Amino acid sequence: MSKHWEIIIIGGGPAGLAAALYCGRALRSTLIIEKYFFGGQIITSDIIENYPGYTDPQSPADLMERFIFQVKKYGVEMENNEVIKIEREGETWRVNTNDGFSTTDAIILATGSEHRFLGVEGEKELRGRGLSVCATCDAPFFKDRRIAVIGGGDTAIAEALHLAKFASDVTIIHRRDQLRAERILQERAFHNNKIKFLWNREVLRFKGFKRLESIQVKDKISGNIEEFAFDGIFMAIGTVPTTELVKNLVDLDAEGYISTDISLKTSSPGIFVAGEVVKGNHRQVAISAGMGVQASLSCEEYLNTLPKK
């Protein structure tokens, strides 16, 4: 049976959960829907050391458990389901899931992002066959093996540092001649004797039959084509925003991010956004949580403008 909510939050990562906390405390009837697992992608990380207020390294899963506990405390309903369509229905929004629908006065979209892939030959076929996106999940398969990590940002370097605890050696393959990651992570990687670097390399293809065997790259300086054998390769080249659900409802920019202002409202009245669906988030838990708070406060202001029912 369908139910009407004052607010439906779509996405249960740091942004969605922070928004849910504030909506709950505003005593708004609130439903938060998460497709996979509450806590979001951050829980697949090894540790989090830069969430303000925590001086010791935290387990991301434990940190997100505390977010969830806090949300439940304020009466927010949590549902594990997939939203398949959002549509305007009179004065409200209808949110359709796999097995039903709910209506709502306002939506906070915090659907986050998905792993970016290169789209090169062999990539699709070898995913889960030695090509991975989750170091904490798949590291046990690569004990004392040769591993590569593709990327140069925070995620790539954090994954390389985690994998170095298991692998015989870890090679970071990066398309530039310097990293983008936090300086403290860079320093740890440069001083880890298991970690090596292949700079200025463009990935051309992944090779292997039934399991990954090697990678073919192009040296962007010399133009030489090279091939290196690895047992496992971890992709960490960024993400793409998950905005398919609202592409016909709100304005998106050319890269698929939702256009918004500092209040995090969208071009569609009653739809607010938070987290990695907004350009420039930098994929930090603290930023996503802050955006969730901002979106919920803007949403509260919007709800106060609606006629009393």
Partner 1 sequence: MAEILSADDFTFDQHLKDNKLLIVDFWSPSCIPCRMMDHNLELIAGIHGTSIKIIKINVNESPKTSSRYLVRTLPTLLFIQNQKVKSQLTGAVNSKQIGKVINEICS
Active site residues: 134, 137-138
Judged by CB under 8 A, which of 26, 47, 51, 61 binds partner 1?
A: 61
**140 scored as a contact of partner 1 (CB under 8 A):** yes
Can you tell me which of 27, 137, 225, 306 binds partner 1, judged by CB under 8 A? 137
Segment interacting with partner 1, rule: CB under 8 A, options 137-145, 146-154, 176-184, 247-255: 137-145
Q: What angle do CA 49, 50, 54 make, to 5 degrees?
A: 75
Comparing CB distances to partner 1, the nearer of 72 and 129 is 129
Is residue 69 part of the contact set for partner 1 (CB under 8 A)?
Answer: no
**Binding residue (CB under 8 A) for partner 1 from 25, 35, 146, 194:** 35
What are φ and ψ of residue 216, in 5° steps?
A: -110, 130
Q: Which is nearer to partner 1, 139 or 172 (CB)?
A: 139
> Least distance from C-beta 305 to partner 1, angstroms?
35
CA angle 138/139/145 to nearest 5° reads: 120
207 touching partner 1, by CB under 8 A? no
d(CA 204, CA 201): 9
Is residue 58 close enough to count as binding partner 1 by CB under 8 A? no
Report, in Å, the least distance between residue 127 CB and partner 1. Answer: 8
Total residue length of the chain: 309
Identity of the residue, 191 or 210, whose beta carbon is nearer to partner 1 in the bound complex: 210
Here the tokens at position 100 are: 């039903």
User: Is residue 230 within 8 Å of 214, Cβ to Cβ?
Assistant: yes
Number of Cβ atoms within 10 Å of the Cβ of 48: 21
Options 124, 211, 247, 282; binder of partner 1; rule CB under 8 A: 211
**Which of these, 116, 90, 89, 102, lies nearest to 32 by C-alpha position?**
102
Using the contact rule CB under 8 A, the part of the chain among 78-86, 173-181, 219-227, 241-249 near partner 1 is 78-86
Q: Is 23 left (phi over 0), alpha (psi -120 to 50) or beta?
A: alpha
Q: Is 52 in the site for partner 1 (CB under 8 A)?
A: no
Which residues are bridge partners to 247 per DSSP?
none
Task: Tell me the site size for partner 1, rule CB under 8 A.
Answer: 28
- 128 is a contact residue toward partner 1 (CB under 8 A): yes
Residue 81 in contact with partner 1, rule: CB under 8 A: yes
Q: How far apart are CA 214 and CA 159, in angstroms?
A: 19
Spatial distance between the Cα atoms of 172 and 146, rounded to a whole number of angstroms = 11
200 binds partner 1 (CB under 8 A): no
Closest distance of CB 181 from partner 1, Å: 22
Interaction between residue 210 and partner 1 (CB under 8 A): yes
Among 166, 294, 297, 147, CA closest to 235: 147
Pick from 11, 14, 24, 60 the residue near partner 1 by CB under 8 A: 60
The reply on whether position 178 binds partner 1 by CB under 8 A is no
- CA end-to-end span of the chain: 21
| Segments in the chain forming alpha helices (H) | 14-25, 60-73, 123-126, 135-138, 154-163, 183-190, 285-305
Indicate the residue among 100 and 269 with the shorter CB distance to partner 1: 100
Task: Return the amino acid letter for 263.
Answer: S
Q: Minimum Å distance from CB 126 to partner 1?
A: 9
Where do contacts with partner 1 occur on this chain (CB under 8 A)? 35-37, 39, 43-44, 60-61, 80-82, 98-99, 127-130, 132, 134, 136-141, 210-211, 232
